[in-house]
Structure 1
Amino acid sequence: MIRAFAAALLVMLFAAPAQADTYTQANFSSGIFGGDANVRDPLLNPYFPSDPFSGSFVYDNNLVPAAGTGFVNVMINSYPDIAAISAADAFKFDFGSYVFTLADDPLAMIQYNNGQFNGFVFNTTFAFEGANYLFNLNGGTLTVRSEADPFGQPYINGYTNIGNGSLTGQTAYTPSTAPPVGAVPEPSTWAMMLLGFGFVGYALRTTRRRRNAVPAFA
């Protein structure tokens, strides 16, 4: 009976799912500042001052910092269910004829300021007319520089609209599949497991002592 109880307890503990995070998908907007100085040749065509851009991303509601926490960057690949979220769903930015996703920068982060959306930290490269350029989002700032001169004057200066009020189309997002088998259990699950093992061990020792006890005769 003890063995049956122990087996049932183990099945229950290992089958108990970890507390699931919840996710939201939202759209954001971006663009190039007005004024000819914000787009330089050879990128002046196809890009122009005041060009608007858009994108979307998925954020983990459980990882949004509380108000008053200052600047906090949350790595998108740190989501517990990131393996079940496609790169294009996790982060997507339509930059003219180029489309950037999380696959272009696996270290991409969402930036918050006192719990409010404050843009992204995202870096990638793209080729245009035989030259390579660095595309960078840093908080609410967008820049494009020459890969050959990464600290030089930007070829494009732009922005990302920040603040929770700038996000649109917010909808609940469900990862496509369950978390992978073998995921690390939550701390509460570990506590239940240890408690269960302790109880089973105590019960087994008690049973063994009773079996080994020698009856006393008067």
Structure 2
Amino acid sequence: MIKILTGVVALAALAGAAPAAANLLVNGNFEASTSQTSTPTGWTNIGHTEGVISYASFGTPAYDGDYYYDIGGYGGATPAPGEGISQTVTTVPTALYTLTFGFSGENTAGVSTVLDVLIGSQLSQFTIVGDGSGVFKKPFQTTSINYLATGASTTISFTIASSTAFGFNDPLIDGVSFALAGPGSTVPEPASWAMLIAGFGLVGAAARRRRVAVAA
């Protein structure tokens, strides 16, 4: 009985095995960068080159470290739809990942901006509205998105989709993490499911035989 249970546990571990949930993104908190006009380390700019801004520069409520990324770039060229930043990481097909990040906006009162977040081909959109609390003074909020990988690599991108006034409420992001959702986050292949089902069947049969023996 113990041997059978041990075998089933081993099968379950094999089917759901996953590396430790480490951040796969390079410089996800933008602390390896200090320039407002240079591409942050590890990332690729989409559109014109943009850099990072320090929280101290405009009194932005601190979220993660000393720097954040401004999609559109402060004081640079006015952003156009589709501009932003991206990074490609290695992934395991059928593994479940979670993208977590903080976002805010430059926060000009009344200006509405849409942020596109693309993980592979999976699109999520976030509307950021200036709340009148002061330019660059809106606190960051945290959100998470789950993603089931379909290939050996996945590109994550943050781009500005639209705005009622480009350049006045550009999205701000920080604390970006892309990691396995947790232990056992890999979806078992059909063959693994079959092995697990067969193993549990053996456990059930052994338990029934034990009950019959005890009754006798």
Query: Normalised by the shorter chain, which TM-score bucket?
Result: 0.3 to 0.5
After TM superposition, the score normalised by the length of structure 1 is 0.36
Higher radius of gyration, 1 or 2: 1
Query: Which of the pair has the greater relative contact order for Cα pairs under 8 Å at 6+ separation?
Result: 2
* Structure holding more helix per residue: 1
After TM superposition, the score normalised by the length of structure 2 is 0.36
